[in-house]
Amino acid sequence: MAGALAVAACGPKAQGQPVPADLPPLKAVAPVRVGACVQALHLGDPALSALLTREVSQLTPEWEMKMEYVVQPDGSFRFDAPDRIAAFARAHGMALLGHTLVWYAQAPDAFARLDEGRISFVDAYRNYILAVAGRYRGQVVGWDVVNEAVAEDGDGWRDSLWSQRLGAFEHIALAYRTAREADPHAALLLNDYNLEYYPRKRATFLKLAERLLASGAPLTGLGTQMHVAADIAPGEIGRSIRELASLGLPVHVSELDVSLTRSQNKLLSRDELRRRQAAVYAEAAEALMDLPASQRFAFTLWGLRDQDSWLKKENAADAPAPFDDAGRPKAGAAALVEAFRG
Ligand code: G3I
C-alpha cells in the first residue's frame, strides 16, 4: 500500500496511472469553453452523456453536420442527427460549434453531377450554406465555415470541386459572406491541421486568413485542429498558437488529441509516451491560456474517452484521449486541470 501511495504522491504527470477520480471537471477550472466532438448515435450512451455534461461546455458534431451526412443522393438534406446534437447541447446549456460547411474532402455526388439547367452551381453552393447555417442560426456559437483549405505541404491552397467550379479564393470568400448572410452573429472560423508541425503550412494559412480579412470576408476566428503525437517536439504547439494569435483573431484549439501510436520515435516506452502525452495536453492548454481572454475561442478535444477517438480505427492500441474507456481521468486530464488552473 505504501508503494502505491508513494507512486500516487508523485503526481499524475509522472505516471501513466489513472488519476484520482475526484479531479474537478475541466469546464469548472477552465477560463475558456472546453469542448468535445460527439456523434448523435453516442448520445444514447449514458456514461458518455454523463461525462460530457460533467466535463465540457461546448460540442462539435464529429461528422453529422457535414455534407457527407446532410446531403442525400437526390440532393435533399437531412438534419435528424445534427438536430439531436443541437437539442442535447441546448438541454445541457452547452455551446454548439457547427462543423463544417465547406470541406475539400466532401463533395457529394449531388453537387458533382449538378443539373445546371435546373440550378447554377453557385446557387446550389449558396443554398446549401444558407440552408444549414440558417437552420442552426441562434443555436451555434460559430461555424468552421471552411475546413482544411491549405495544401498538405503548405504550398498554396487545396484543389477541390469547390475551387474548380467557383475559384480558388472566391469559393472561400463566398462561403464566409454566405454564412454571415445566414447567421448574423455566429463566429466564422477557418480551420486546419498540422499547423504546429509545418511552419510553411501555418504561414500559408495565415496569409489566406489575411487575404480574407483584406477582402472584407467576415472571418472572425482561427481553428487549429492539433491532431498531434505524444513525441511532438516540446514548444512547437506554443509557438504555433502564438503565431496564429498574431492576427489578433480568437484562436480555437479545435480537435486536440495526442496519439501514442502515431509517435515517430519508436524507441519511447509506453510509459514515456504517456508522460509526454500529459505534457502535450498541458502545453496546448497553457498556450491558449497565455493568450488574452478575447483571443481564447475554445479548447476542444476530439474524443473525451479513448474509445471515442477516430484514431482507434487506425490503431486499436492507441490511447489518445484525456479519459480512459471507462471515463476515468488519465494523466492528460490531470495535466489539463493543472494548466487551466494556471
Ligand atoms: O456511423 C456510421 C455507420 O452507421 C455507417 O455504417 C458507416 C458506413 O458509412 O459510417 C459511419 O459513420 C462514419 C462516422 O465517421 C462515424 O464513425 C462515417 O462514415 C465517417 O465518414 C466518419 O468519419 C469522420 C471523418 O471526420 C469524416 O467526416 C470521423 O468520425 C471524424 O473523426 C473525422 O473528423 C475530422 C474532422 O472533421 C476534420 N479534421 C480531421 C478529423 C479527423 O479525420
CATH assignment at residue 79: 3.20.20.80
Asked if the structure places residue 314 within a domain, the reply is: yes
pLDDT tens digit sequence for 7-20: 343 344 444 555 76
CA 202 to chain centre: 16
Q: What is the pLDDT of residue 21?
A: 65
Asked if the structure places residue 42 within a domain, the reply is: yes
Q: What is the pLDDT of residue 22?
A: 80
Q: How many CB atoms lie within 10 A of CB 187?
A: 23
Cα 271 to middle of ligand 1, angstroms: 30
Asked if the structure places residue 67 within a domain, the reply is: yes
pLDDT tens digit sequence for 72-130: 999 999 999 999 999 999 999 999 999 999 999 999 999 999 988 999 999 999 999 99
Q: What is the pLDDT of residue 19?
A: 76
Structural domain including 176 reads 26-341
Q: Tell me which residue of 89, 109, 110 sits closest to 99, measured CA to CA.
A: 89
Asked if the structure places residue 35 within a domain, the reply is: yes
Asked if the structure places residue 5 within a domain, the reply is: no
Active site residue 68: no
- Percent of the chain exceeding pLDDT 90 equals 93
Active site residue 314: no
Bond before 100 cis per omega within 30 degrees: yes
- Residue closest via CA to ligand 1's atom 14 equals 63
Contact residues of ligand 1, CB 6 A cut-off = 39, 62-63, 66, 68, 147, 193, 225, 255, 310
3-state secondary structure of 190: strand
Q: How many Å apart are CA 105 and CA 184, to the nearest integer?
A: 27
pLDDT tens digit sequence for 155-200: 999 999 999 999 999 999 999 999 999 999 999 999 999 999 999 9
Q: What is the pLDDT of residue 303?
A: 98
Taking the CA of residue 37 as reference, the ligand 1 atom at the shortest distance is 32
Question: In the chain, how many domains are there?
Answer: 1
- Residue closest via CA to ligand 1's atom 32 equals 310
Q: What is the pLDDT of residue 11?
A: 42
